Structure 1
């Protein structure tokens, strides 16, 4: 069952996710099958050596995980997550596409592929969502 009737409805709800949204993460698309989020990179996302901070990449992936898992079942919280950084971004914008690998009775497994606007694979995030009782 899909929770949000539109991407715009989900955007309004997830504006409350201040850490991600204040750092530039945007929800581009949300369907019953996937979530697509983006992050326009700037100096605020860089580490001391000029590369993109791992936390910025993680935040983007976590936001994509949250939007999809909560569209599948509200309220869902992260039970366990893992991220593997594959390559340093070369582009100016990052994308995170979340897809549901398994939607069980009490948990969901969400895969998030993070890539840049040049098509370069940046990270693979796998999250287990724990479905809380509906209110």
Structure 2
């Protein structure tokens, strides 16, 4: 597995991403972009997209990006800040590698709506095996 195919291969094996209906838009070494086209059926009690759905989308982007180098990477820490409510349209998560050492890598994920409004900011750390 090389850096050109590792992220795609990882995403294709992600059964949870498939179950949610997440689409892979772009992947490359240390980065990934995924979209959930119809989050409207996954609302919380306030009528907005559930935070767990937003977290899951960010986590899928994170996992895809950190496994894009062809080396197994396992998330060991993640946190998220919810900044704005998501409506009925598609939401997208964009993961970018901030640092990568011998054993740890850190990523930033931005979750946006169709108007490019920042909905959430996620940061995760992966252990590299």
TM-score under structure 1 length normalisation: 0.86
**Other-structure match for 1:108:** 105
Which whole-Å deviations, capped at 9, do the CAs of 1:2-49 have from their partners, x for residues lacking one?
83424xx74444232112221111111001252111111244321233
In structure 2, what is the equivalent of residue 3 of structure 1? 2
Q: Which runs of 5+ in 2 are unaligned?
A: none
1:61 aligns with 2:58: yes
The whole-number CA distance in structure 1 between the counterparts of 2:108 and 2:10 is 22
Q: Deviations over 1:106-133 (max 9, x none)?
A: 000000011000111000110000011x
SS where residue 72 of structure 1 aligns?
A: coil
Residue aligning to 2:126: 129
Structure 1 gaps of 5+ residues are none
Q: CA deviation at 1:74?
A: 2.0
Q: Which runs of 4+ in 1 moved over 6 A?
A: none
RMSD between superposed Cα atoms in Å: 1.9
> Number of residues paired by the alignment?
129
